[in-house]
Amino acid sequence: MRKLIIVLLALVIILPTQAATTDFTADGNITVSSVTFGAGTTDMLIMDTSTAESWEFDAGAFTVTNPGTFKVGSSDSSVKSIKFAQGSANLACAENTTPGTSYATAPADNRRNLYYYSFHHYRLHFPLRGR
């Protein structure tokens, strides 16, 4: 009986830890091709070593679930900056000074889901939306 209690206690401690693990780690830059914004398209990059539970791009919506260090950039020189926002509040922004190398990192607080939205050919904009 004592062994059973110890095993059950160990499972209770281990299972929540496993649920919080990162399932996605970028091993090199990942190109999300032909992302449409406004009248144009661009290639979006998920940068090397980015982590998250998962991510998905579908019909203009870019969703990241439980991101760790999640970095987004673009190899397109017409993209001038990358911005993360929540509502009207800007949370993180980076200039795309070196396309393919420059990136913005998703902010650490209040980030469950990101969706893709953009302004013309000059900005990539990632407003944050809670679940």
28-56: pLDDT as tens digits? 999 988 776 656 677 889 999 998 888 88
**Which of the residue ranges 19-28, 32-41, 69-78, 117-126 would you say has the lowest mean pLDDT?**
117-126
Does the predicted model carry a pTM greater than 0.85?
no
- Pair type for strands 113-114 and 61-67: unpaired
Q: What is the pLDDT of residues 85-125, one digit of tens each?
A: 666 667 778 888 999 999 988 776 544 444 433 323 344 55
Torsion 79-85-89-90 (CA) sign = negative
3-state DSSP assignment of residue 66: strand
